Each structure stands twice: as structure tokens, then as C-alpha cells.
Structure 1
């Protein structure tokens, strides 16, 4: 987890430097806002990863000599065959398209997003075979 934390910390620093230079040399408020939002989002991910690393330490995936069995006692966020992320992403994409194309597509998107959120909340997925 430490490698991912360093990666997103580097991205946040890049956006901080780029945004600072861009804000000093440009009068474009949209570009400045976009760079600052990118800085905040990458900083949020970096903070989460550093917190998880501090709480859990090194993962078995980070050790080149780790055995597969060492991963067995750790919890997962989703079941291995969960369709909830895919369904929720498709519903969100249809909502975004519906805002541009028309209300009917937005309603279909909300209809698809609802089971995706339900799957997230109740950890729905395909049964293990």
C-alpha cells in the first residue's frame, strides 16, 4: 500500500505545483478550478492510502516472497463476483448521458443505478460456485 500512497502523493504534489504556476500566470478561472479539484481529489486518495498503510501495514501483495495463503485472512470490499460496481457505473453513465440527451435516458439510468446501489449496500453478487 505504500507504493500506491507515494504514487498519489506525487500526483497531488504535481497538481499543486502545476496549479500554483497556472494560477500565477493565467487569468482562466476554469483551469485553475480544474487543477485545484484534481489536487483535492488526488490528495484525498493519498490521505486514505497513507491512513490504510498506517493502520494495516504492509500487505502480502507487497512482499515478493509471500505465499498465496497469507492473503486468506484479509477482508475484501466486494465479493469476488460482484456485479454492483458495473451496474452502478452503467447507471451513472446513463444518467450523465440523459442529462444531455433527454429525460427518458436519465430515468433509465436511475432505474439501473438503483440495483447497483442496492448491491453495494447489501453486498449483492453472483453466488459462489
Structure 2
């Protein structure tokens, strides 16, 4: 994490320099504000990564003699046949289309989104105390 922290801090310094030059050259407040906000976000992420790197063990990415396999591990469980992302995608598409076509379309998209979220959260839940 040390490398990532340093990268974000250097990125923040670069964005700060660009924000100052852009602000003085263009005299445009919106872009200058956006660049200063990007500086703030980059410095926050860089500080967090650098602070966390001091508290945790050295990772494989921080060692010169590390192999790719040293950082390998379990990535997590991914459902092989879930239909819930499709429901969320369709519901979200209808929700965004409601901005264009009318807010009445939100009445159709909200239940589809809620069903998709509920189904995805409880997809593998069998209940407490039930035989499996």
C-alpha cells in the first residue's frame, strides 16, 4: 500500500499545480473548483493509503522479491447464475428513462429495483433454524 499511497500523493500534487495554472490562466471558476476538489479527493485517498500502510503488514506489492503468486488468494464468492443484476439493470434503465419520458415511469421502475435488490441480498439465505 505504500506505493499506492505515494502515487496518490504525487497525483494530488500534480493536480494542485494544474489547478493553480488553470485557475490563473482561464479565470474560469467551475473548472478550477473541480480541479481543487480532485486535489482534495486525491490527497484524502493518498493519506488513507499511506496511513494504513504503516499499520498493516508489508504486502507483496511493497516487496522487491515478491512473486505474483504471493499476493494471490481467495477473491470471494460470485454467484454463477444470478438473475438479480438483470432485474436491477432493467429497473435502473427505466428509472433513468423516467427523467426523459415522465416521472410516472418511476412507478414501474421502483418495484423492479426493489425486487432486484431484495432478491440479490437474500439469494442464498435459507433462514435461521431451517434444515438445508
TM-score normalised by structure 2 residue count:
0.57
**Distance in 2 between residues matched to 1:27 and 1:65, nearest whole Å:** 48
Q: What is the deviation of 1:10?
A: 1.3
Q: Which runs of 4+ in 1 moved over 6 A?
A: 69-72, 124-127
Structure 1: 5+ residue stretches without partners: none
Which of structures 1 and 2 has the bigger CA Rg?
Answer: 2
**Distance in 2 between residues matched to 1:47 and 1:31, nearest whole Å:** 24
Q: What is the deviation of 1:60?
A: 3.0
TM-score normalised by structure 1 residue count:
0.59
Contact map agreement 1:9 1:42 (CA 8 A) in 2:
yes
1:90-101 to 2 correspondence within 5 Å? 94=92, 97=96, 100-101=99-100
1:1-129 to 2 correspondence within 5 Å? 1-63=1-63, 64-65=65-66, 80-81=76-77, 94=92, 97=96, 100-101=99-100, 102-103=102-103, 104=105, 107=110, 111=114, 114-115=117-118
Residues 28-77 of structure 1: CA deviation (Å, up to 9, x unaligned): 111111101111111111011011111114213433336957877xxx9x
**Distance in 2 between residues matched to 1:15 and 1:114, nearest whole Å:** 38
Aligned-partner SS, 1:81: coil
